[in-house]
Amino acid sequence: MRMWWFITTLAITAFFCNSPVYAYDNNPLQDICVAVNDSHASVFVNGKICKDPKLATANDFYFSGLNVSGNEVPGLGFALKTVDVNNMPGLNTLGITLVRADLEPQRIGPFHMHPRATEMITILEGTT
């Protein structure tokens, strides 16, 4: 009977001690995977077809337009402009999305969360 408890305790301890090993995100499959709308491209990653890395250009990692306000969100008192893989193809597989949010005075951003992501805020005008 003691041996049964020892083996059970050992198995449970081994399970909980090894579980943190699995608590991480996998490394990206490759350094860059510039999204492209080309049916002849062979690599399909993150829901997008990848451009040959030798054909990547600086324009794949450039977006102009964050200098103007985005679309107003009705009833919430702010406007958003989002930059993601759809308008900056070089962001594919990097896990990055840029957002410009213009809040009206006395407004706050609604409660939200970003699973497996981080949010960084830079205030250009006004206070927190």
Q: With 60 as the cut, is the pLDDT of residue 20 above it?
A: no
Kindly tell me the burial class for residue 42, based on how many C-beta atoms sit within 10 Å of its own C-beta (0-12, 13-18, 19 or more): exposed
| DSSP element (H, E) containing 100 | strand 98-103
Task: Locate the domains of the chain by residue range.
Answer: 25-128
Tell me 96's DSSP state: -
Rounded Cα distance, 64 and 74, in Å: 25
The CATH H-level (homologous superfamily) assignment of domain 25-128 is: Jelly Rolls (2.60.120.10)
Query: What are the pLDDT digits (tens) for 78-110?
Result: 888 888 888 899 888 777 888 888 888 888 777
Q: pTM of the full predicted structure?
A: 0.61
Query: What are the pLDDT digits (tens) for 26-78?
Result: 665 556 788 887 766 666 666 678 888 888 899 999 999 888 888 888 888 88
Rounded Cα distance, 107 and 87, in Å: 28
